[in-house]
Amino acid sequence: MATTVTSKGQVTVPQRFRERFGIVPGSKVEFELADDGRLVLTKVDPEKSVSRFEKWRGSAGPGPTTDELMALLRD
């Protein structure tokens, strides 16, 4: 099925594919280039779409309190 690319680079995913794969407004999709040169569109699983930075959020621990930081700066 062919579709047209708009001047903004947007395309419409046909309704039958949106319904089949559960693509709704706000869904994330990913474009990949296959080894044979095809462009592959894949729906991104929200559980697996954590950025490389997001997965480390909060991993440094609680850190010093404001009073501890102020004491360090004043000494």
What confidence tens digit (pLDDT) does each residue in 17-65 have? 999 999 999 898 999 999 999 999 999 887 665 677 776 777 777 888 8
Domains of the chain: total: 1
Return phi, psi of residue 60, to 5°.
Answer: -80, -10
DSSP letter at 42 equals E
User: CATH number for the domain including 18?
Assistant: 2.10.260
Question: Which pTM value belongs to this model?
Answer: 0.54
Does residue 75 form part of some domain? no
Quick one: pLDDT at residue 8? 95
- The dihedral region occupied by 22, where left means phi > 0, alpha psi between -120 and 50, and beta the remainder, is left
Does residue 17 form part of some domain? yes
Does residue 29 form part of some domain? yes
Which residue segment(s) compose the domain that 16 sits in? 12-51
Residue among 13, 34, 11 at smallest CA distance from 22:
13
Mean pLDDT of 5-13: 94
Does residue 67 form part of some domain? no
Does residue 47 form part of some domain? yes
